[in-house]
Amino acid sequence: MALRIDILTLFCEMFDGFLSASIVGRAVRNGLIEVHRTDIRQFATDTYGTVDDKPYGGGPGMVLMCRPVLDAVEAVRKQTEPQGKVILLTPQGRPLSQALVGELAGEQRLILLAGHYEGFDERIRTHLADMEVSIGDFVLSGGEVPAMVVIDAVTRLLPGALGKDESPVEESFADGLLEYPQYTRPQTFRGLSVPDVLLSGDHRRIADWRTEQARLRTAQRRPDMMARNRQRGDDRENEQTGASP
Ligand SMILES: C[S@@+](CC[C@H](N)C(=O)[O-])C[C@H]1O[C@@H](n2cnc3c(N)ncnc32)[C@H](O)[C@@H]1O
């Protein structure tokens, strides 16, 4: 069964190219994901299409109002079962990680709520959102690009989404490490050669080299990931021995 993804946005057209190209486009065409876009403005409370208003207490910008967003979510939920998780895209949410992407890929339906302007009325967050997700510690103009990030990352993990020569298993973050360095032809480029081991044909040595390189690279670039790996290892050991941390 296809993973159904509903996107609630003020800018449906931003997804045109994204949903028709590359791996996501292929997943749409092959029926692995079924993506529906809903324009929140259709649920405006007046004939001008107003969906935002000034913040109480003053301050810059406009805030997305409860009514149109709630009505939009209720309308898409009524379209089909299952109800699906409502995911609010916000810089204040749970940081997106490969582990979270894996969780989302296990769902049957995702409802992605893309904000704009100064963000959402707080009651949308408290009454509607099952989860809040951030794609990083920076502020974008809207939740459309974050929604695309989520859809792309989730789609890659769906069985059959990648071609037979591609695999999500060996990629960065899949096993708590960054990926090893990759090379392709030519063997020498401007005096820079491919490491001999990769030309050796010895699969065991190549696998060992890659593991070693992945560890080195992760330690150099992402000591935080190495620390988390060590902590996980300690936790597992404690579980096995029954020792308390
Ligand atoms: C300009 S931002 C609002 C930021 C909000 N005023 C704040 O300071 O938290 C407008 C919308 O873009 C989206 N957005 C911006 N940055 C994001 C991020 N890092 N992750 C996920 N969504 C983001 C959210 O949907 C947000 O409602």
The atom number, within ligand 1, closest to the CA of 138 reads 19
> Could you give the percent of the chain with pLDDT greater than 70?
98
Q: Which residue's CA lies nearest to atom 17 of ligand 1?
A: 91
Domains of the chain as residue ranges with CATH = 3-156 (3.40.1280.10), 188-241 (no CATH)
Residue closest to 183 by CA, chosen among 169, 204, 197, 164: 197
How do residues 167-211 score in pLDDT, each as one tens digit? Answer: 777 788 888 999 999 999 999 999 999 999 999 999 999 999 999
Average pLDDT, the chain: 95
Residue 153, helix vs strand vs coil? helix
Residue 162 Cα to ligand 1 middle (Å): 30
How do residues 13-47 score in pLDDT, each as one tens digit? Answer: 999 999 999 999 999 999 999 999 999 999 998 99
Task: Choose the residue to mutate in 9, 11, 89, 151 for probing ligand 1, maximizing ligand atoms within 8 Å of C-beta.
Answer: 89
* Residue 165 in this model has a pLDDT that exceeds 80: no
What does the pLDDT read at residue 167? 72
What does the pLDDT read at residue 237? 83
The atom number, within ligand 1, closest to the CA of 137 reads 19
Name the strand (E) or helix (H) holding 237.
Answer: helix 223-241
CA dist list (Å): 72 to 41, 44, 110, 146, 233:
9, 9, 14, 19, 45
Q: Which residues line ligand 1 (CB under 6 A)?
A: 89-92, 114-116, 118-120, 134-136, 138-143, 146
Per-residue pLDDT band for 239 (boundaries 50, 70, 90) equals: confident
Task: Choose the residue to mutate in 121, 131, 139 for probing ligand 1, maximizing ligand atoms within 8 Å of C-beta.
Answer: 139
Per-residue pLDDT band for 59 (boundaries 50, 70, 90) equals: very high
> What is the pLDDT averaged over residues 86-96?
98
How do residues 100-110 score in pLDDT, each as one tens digit? Answer: 999 999 999 99
* Residue 245 in this model has a pLDDT that exceeds 70: no
More confident residue, 6 or 241: 6
> What is the pLDDT averaged over residues 150-155?
98
Residue 14 Cα to ligand 1 middle (Å): 16
